A and B are shown apart, each in its own frame.
Chain A
Amino acid sequence: MRQWLVMMVLAGVAALGSGCAFHRTVANAHFKDIDPSFITVGKTTVYDVLDRLGPPAPVSELSENFRLISDTHLCYVCYESRRTTFALGYVLFLPFCWEDGQMTDELLIEFDRDSGVVSSVTRTRQATVRPPLQGESARAPRQTQNLTPGLRR
């Protein structure tokens, strides 16, 4: 009797667990650790930056480019999302899905509109959490760093 019970519990766990999946998607991972130390504030131009780093790439759609590039800024974005799904696929399909998506690393390079040289560099880092296993309280505080004072002039 006890063996049957154990087997039924195991079968139940296997049936429930089969629908459980954890996803992590990272877009533009190569932008995550851009080193802006080559920039000289007031001297490096937008073309120098483009030659060195290439153009910013959108996370998912090309239409995003409008917000990443302008005559006064370039923004290099790394996007990460964590998704947990639990989908029971036995006759009655109950899809459970939790997702958190954040721009985990953004490097914002601003230019003087008239001269086209770098005027400031800012980096923002934001962590993702994995809902529902982690709530908002588990998220590390956003970090924003003004890198301009540390660059050459």
Chain B
Amino acid sequence: MTKPVPAPPRAPRRRPRGGAWARYARALRTPRGITATVLLLVLVALALLAPVLWPGGYDEQTRDALAPPSAEHWLGTDEFGRDILTRTIYGLRTDLSLILTAVPVSLVIGTLLGLSGYLSSWFGSLMQRVLDIILGFPGLILGIIIVLVIGPGWTALFFAIVIAGLPGFGRLARGGLLSEQQREYVLAARTLGVNKSTVMVRHILPNVVDPLLVQASIYMVVAIFIEAGLSIVGLGINPPKPSLGAMLNVGARYVETLPSYVLGPGAVLLLLALAFTLLSDALNQAATRR
């Protein structure tokens, strides 16, 4: 019998302990993570509480159209005399409802498409070519086509965001799959006879999910701009319902007379983008420092 070997004096390394959740939780405790989380929580709380804080809704009109900022209307009123601040918050509500549903859906579908090569390699290649075709259309053109099919509105934006995100998620997932499949621990599990789905769930997926989550938070920002872009050309949210993009579109006309019309929604949009960028940075740091 070999004698048990004395354990070498090992450093208590600053390495992630525990599972994936603990790692993500740690990512959120970094300065960037904290800033992002606080910012996002405030924005989401505002959006959720909008009907309570502004019970009048986004359609309440006053006599004054295009009134400058005042104590009553912090950002002034729009061309129909509606409070711009209220509409900005309701617009934020629309945007958040869009991206917080569409991006996860896109993430899941894209990942599945990317990982489909695990079932059969020719099916995987076929799916990649499908994603290449989607990638061939610029986001705006793709959006316009979808709007033409479905008609403008929340649903069209939802599908535009879902579809435009697929190539990114799909390719990342496939890249991860291809490299993980060659890893020795994956080969070891296969040789032991661990069944295929368990190998996927235990050994492959946890190791490809990090870049995908980073991509998802980056794509949140892109999704906001897809909404804004389509709304700016008038193919987004239908009036009178506000969205940040639609407000920017209209507000741009009054940028000289009433700059706060664009500054309000613009600032919220920036804060939202900032929050997701910080979040993706924090996650990325946690993901690469292994």
Q: Do A and B bind each other?
A: no
Interfacial residues, chain B to chain A (CB-CB below 8 A): none
